[in-house]
Amino acid sequence: MEHREARATSKSSTQPETDDGVGRRKKRAFLDLLLDATESGHELSQADIREEVDTFMFEGHDTTAASIGWAIFLLGNNPEVQARVVDELNDIFGDSDRRATVQDLNNMKYLEMVIKETLRLYPSVPFIGRLVTEDMVIGDHLIPAGVWLNIELFNVHRCEDHFPNPEKFDPDNFLPEKMQNRHPFAYVPFSAGPRNCIGQKFALLEEKTIISSILRKFRVESTEKQEDICLMMDLVLRPESGVKVKLYPRDN
């Protein structure tokens, strides 16, 4: 409400995206776009706008935090993988303690494989629902229109046809040559199609930033194994009692 009132006194708030003077488009805030939609005759109530903002806040924080926690846990259980990530970071940063740039994040190819493998084993959102809009046949089964399907991503990602030894944490599952012939829907931690997560690229950059920052300063050691963890299949996949790790400062 306060933002809506502030817009009413500011002419610039309702202006379209413009050039910032150096050839880049000046982006508008997501909340402004929602308010513009309401002002253009669309039926978005105050509650509708709040729900949209709540969704962005939830998807952008809770799920990403869960994924980062799982990645740190798995790296702490797999020191050989952690060492490969650290080698990659050393190649990128050397002895510098500077902050990561976007180019640095794009160069973290192996860390990206680690994150993708983490999301394969522990997808932040372990299941999604879809409404069948027309009759469809899957194998020998007819799925009639009007039925809600609950798609268990946790189990989809453990299909042995696509991921041999599916319970093993193996970032090499995402080597280009292994991904080339894999069914595009065999791995869908961000869903797929028109209802996929619009923030997946940003989430990956966030995770790279935080995980690389931790590993540049600390060696991670997990005090529990994967088989010791009790999973909570809630809206976000969580360990029942958290993940327990030790952090050791790296020698400079």
Residues 55 and 145: their CA atoms lie apart, in Å, by 28
Q: Strand, helix or coil at 182?
A: coil
DSSP assignment of 61-100, as one string?
HHHHHHHHHHHHHHHHH-HHHHHHHHHHHHHHHTT--PPP
Give helix 200-217 / helix 46-77 axis angle, nearest 10°.
40
The pLDDT of residue 83: 97
Higher pLDDT, 63 or 103: 103
pLDDT interval class at 13 (50, 70, 90) = very low
| pLDDT greater at residue 12 or residue 93 | 93
Higher pLDDT, 184 or 29: 184
Higher pLDDT: 53 or 203? It is 203
Whether the pLDDT of residue 251 is over 60: the answer is: yes
Q: Tell me, what's the pLDDT at 24? A: 54
Ligand-binding annotation for 159, yes or no, is no
What is the arithmetic mean of pLDDT over 212-233? Answer: 94
pLDDT higher than 50, residue 12 = no
Which residues, including other chains, have CB under 8 Å from residue 151's CB and lie 6 or more apart?
127, 128, 129, 130
Cβ burial 194-210 (10 Å sphere, 16+ → b, else e): eeebeeeeebbbbbbbb
pLDDT digits (tens, 9 = 90+) for 54-79: 766 666 678 899 999 999 999 999 99
* For residue 4, pLDDT beyond 60: no
Mean pLDDT of the 204-215 span: 96
For the chain, the residue count is 252
Q: What is the pLDDT of residues 184-204, one digit of tens each?
A: 999 999 988 887 887 788 899
Query: What would the mean pLDDT of 100-107 be, rounded to a whole number?
Result: 96
Rounded Cα–Cα distance for residues 13 and 95 (Å): 45
Provide the 8-state DSSP code for 138. E
Contacts of 79 (CB under 8 A, 6+ apart): 221
Domains recognised in the chain with CATH numbers: 46-124+166-249 (1.10.630.10)
Residue with tokens 């966030």: 206
pLDDT recorded at residue 204? 93
Residues 6+ apart with CB under 8 A from 87: none
Highest mean pLDDT out of 111-115, 196-200, 235-239: 111-115
Pairing of strands 218-222, 231-233: unpaired
